[in-house]
């Protein structure tokens, strides 16, 4: 579990963080909409903190254009059907809590 101040994020921010041996990508869409996913694409491993584009609640890997749902990690369309791992993010007062 990791706790980060909510004020560290502006709407539209994406940030890669290391938790234990994992690299997570945190995406903030404004209000209380935070998402956390593996930063490595489950297709061929591109770094989504560099090649990921967010469109509404989808993360698109620009390596081979797979669209992943930020809500449940499902591969909606593209080069793979493998889902991306998502992590639960809760907002507690001034902090966000990411469960790994």
Interface with ligand FES (CB under 6 A): 41, 43-44, 46, 61, 63-64, 66, 78-79
Of the pair 6, 67, the CB lying nearest ligand FES is at 67
Give least dist CB 31 to ligand FES, A: 28
Nearer Cβ to ligand FES (80/97): 80
3-state secondary structure of 48: helix
Compute how many other C-beta atoms are within 10 angstroms of the C-beta atom of residue 25: 24
Q: What angle do CA 52, 39, 1 make, to 5 degrees?
A: 135
Provide the minimum distance between the beta carbon of 65 and ligand FES in the complex, in angstroms, as a whole number.
6
Q: How far is the CB of 88 from ligand FES (least distance, A)?
A: 23
Direct distance between the N- and C-terminal alpha carbons of the chain, in angstroms, rounded to an integer:
6
Q: Which is nearer to ligand FES, 9 or 14 (CB)?
A: 14
Q: What is the C-alpha separation between 61 and 42, in angstroms, rounded?
A: 10
């Amino acid at each position: 579990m990791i706790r980060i101040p909510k004020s560290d994020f502006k709407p539209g921010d994406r940030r890669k963080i290391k938790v234990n041996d994992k690299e997570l990508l945190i995406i903030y869409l404004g209000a209380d909409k935070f998402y956390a996913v593996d930063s490595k694409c489950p297709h061929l491993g591109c770094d989504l903190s560099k090649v990921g584009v967010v469109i509404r609640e989808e993360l698109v890997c620009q390596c081979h254009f797979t669209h992943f749902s930020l809500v449940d990690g499902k591969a909606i369309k593209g080069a793979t059907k493998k889902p991306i791992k998502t992590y639960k993010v809760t907002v507690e007062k001034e902090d966000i809590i990411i469960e790994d």
